């Protein structure tokens, strides 16, 4: 009986000790997991310290200005937290000296020129005599851009742009929206200077141009960005428009397969087509063919032909989702919140930076756009 009792006590003691050890092990594991979570939260806290700084791994918010901007204009841009600018370039051919003279002036005010629009090639667009001379000048300009550290050169390939379809439409509080309607202007005749041009010929001209200039741009380390037709209507003054559909955009990047042959992705224009901006962004972004980006919102009444450009917070495009996805793709080029809406203050102070479209605004409208865009960027970065 005593032996049985002693045996029971020994077994109970051993069991208690084992149970304590298991409990201790579990407790240690729980503490370890808690420590790990605390450490992770501390890391996240460090990553989310404010203010979130600019870095080379994110899109660069920029605004458009004149290459001849004075110091006061540059200061106004810098004051709203913008570090990057874009503009129309000088007459072709560009030289390293002409580009650096422009870029250095902005640099002195803390601004970096990241994109210039190149023009002066109508014979190239229309396939006329003299195009080879124009193309040679553009090649020289691309080489100069590379040497001057200008990373992106933007261009258009309009046969004609139907500006007559734009008009002002009043929005909230009487602010100006830029609206477009194709119906009243769709049958306007061709003008004598441009003539009428068919899509097949325009595609041949664009293909000829790209085959000549993209190898030069690639070697120079420069990316070219073709802005889609806006308005994206089928015909303007009797001429077909060849960058007016999503299929046209896809065809462009297939003509010459190179990161230097890309598009200006515009989420607003994408919605004007009736397409999903997020799907289109993924298509071109995943192929590294977005070389510049316009960030604006629209309400599309009828795809391609009737729409309104509105404030960034009131259109049909989910601007937060666009920002989330472009950052997620690792895009690092310019993002331009263009076409500011017309606020009363800008109408009362017409001097300075302005959007020249009907219903377009100026500096205060631009400031609103920049603030909204920065807020979307910080919201995305803070949620990571």
Instruction: Please state, for a pLDDT cut of 70, what percent of the chain lies above it.
Output: 86
Same domain, residue pair 61 and 160: yes
Average pLDDT of 60-66?
96
173 and 256 part of one domain: yes
22 alpha-carbon distance from chain centroid: 58
> Which DSSP helix (H) or strand (E) runs through 176?
strand 176-181
Show the beta-strand stretches assigned E in 257-362: 261-266, 290-294, 297-302, 306-310, 334-336
The tokens describing 16, both together, are 């208690």
In angstroms, how far is CA 319 from the centroid of its own chain?
12
Quick one: pLDDT band at residue 249, thresholds 50, 70, 90? very high
pTM value is 0.86
Q: Please tell me whether residues 252 and 121 are part of one structural domain.
A: yes
Confidence band of 31 (pLDDT split at 50, 70, 90): low
For residues 63 and 39, membership in a common domain is answered with: no
Domain count of the chain?
2
Do 203 and 328 have their domain in common? yes
One domain, residues 141 and 121? yes
Same domain membership, residue 211 and residue 244:
yes
Range 41-63 average pLDDT: 73
Determine, yes or no, domain membership for 52.
no
Shared-domain flag, residues 71 and 34: no
Which CATH number do you get for residue 75?
A: 3.20.20.150
pLDDT of 88 above 70: yes
Same domain, 207 and 237: yes
Same domain membership, residue 218 and residue 154: yes
Is the predicted pLDDT of residue 62 greater than 80, yes or no? yes
What six digits make up the tokens of 200? 């097949």
Do residues 174 and 93 share a domain? yes
Based on the domain organization, do 161 and 40 belong to the same domain? no
List, for residues 239-248, the tens digit of each pLDDT value.
999 999 999 9
Residue 165's domain comprises 57-382
Q: Are 360 and 350 in contact (CB under 8 A)?
A: no
pLDDT band at 350 (very low <50, low <70, confident <90, very high): confident
């Amino acid at each position: 009986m005593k032996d049985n009792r002693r045996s029971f006590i020994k077994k109970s003691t051993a069991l208690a000790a084992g149970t304590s050890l298991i409990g201790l092990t579990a407790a240690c594991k729980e503490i370890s997991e808690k420590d790990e979570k605390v450490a992770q939260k501390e890391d996240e806290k460090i990553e989310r310290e404010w203010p979130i700084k600019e870095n080379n791994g994110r899109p660069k918010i920029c605004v458009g200005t004149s290459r001849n901007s004075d110091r006061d204009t540059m200061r106004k841009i810098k004051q709203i937290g913008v570090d990057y600018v874009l503009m129309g370039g000088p007459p072709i051919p560009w030289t390293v000296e002409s580009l650096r003279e422009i870029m250095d002036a902005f640099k002195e005010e803390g601004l970096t020129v990241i994109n210039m629009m190149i023009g002066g090639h109508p014979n190239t667009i229309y396939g006329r005599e003299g195009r080879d001379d124009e193309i040679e000048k553009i090649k020289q300009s691309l080489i100069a851009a590379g040497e001057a550290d200008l990373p992106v050169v933007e261009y258009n390939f309009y046969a004609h742009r139907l500006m007559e379809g734009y008009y002002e439409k009043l929005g909230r509080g009487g602010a100006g929206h830029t609206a477009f309607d194709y119906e009243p202007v769709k049958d306007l005749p061709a003008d004598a200077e441009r003539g009428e041009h068919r899509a097949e010929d325009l595609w041949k001209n664009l293909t000829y141009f790209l085959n000549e200039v993209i190898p030069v741009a690639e070697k120079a380390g420069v990316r070219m960005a073709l802005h889609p037709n806006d308005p994206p209507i089928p015909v303007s003054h009797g001429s077909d428009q060849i960058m007016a559909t999503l299929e046209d955009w896809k065809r462009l990047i297939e003509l010459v397969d190179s990161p230097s042959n890309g598009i200006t992705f515009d989420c607003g224009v994408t919605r004007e087509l009736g397409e999903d901006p997020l799907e289109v962004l993924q298509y071109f972004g995943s192929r590294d063919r977005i070389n510049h980006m316009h960030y604006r919102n629209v309400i599309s009444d009828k795809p391609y032909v009737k729409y309104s450009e509105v404030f960034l917070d009131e259109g049909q495009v989910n601007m937060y989702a666009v920002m989330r996805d472009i950052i997620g793709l690792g895009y690092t080029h310019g993002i331009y919140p263009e076409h500011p809406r017309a606020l009363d203050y800008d109408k009362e102070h017409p001097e300075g930076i302005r959007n020249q479209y009907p219903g377009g605004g100026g500096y205060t409208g631009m400031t609103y756009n920049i603030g909204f865009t920065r807020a979307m960027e910080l919201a995305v970065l803070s949620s990571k």
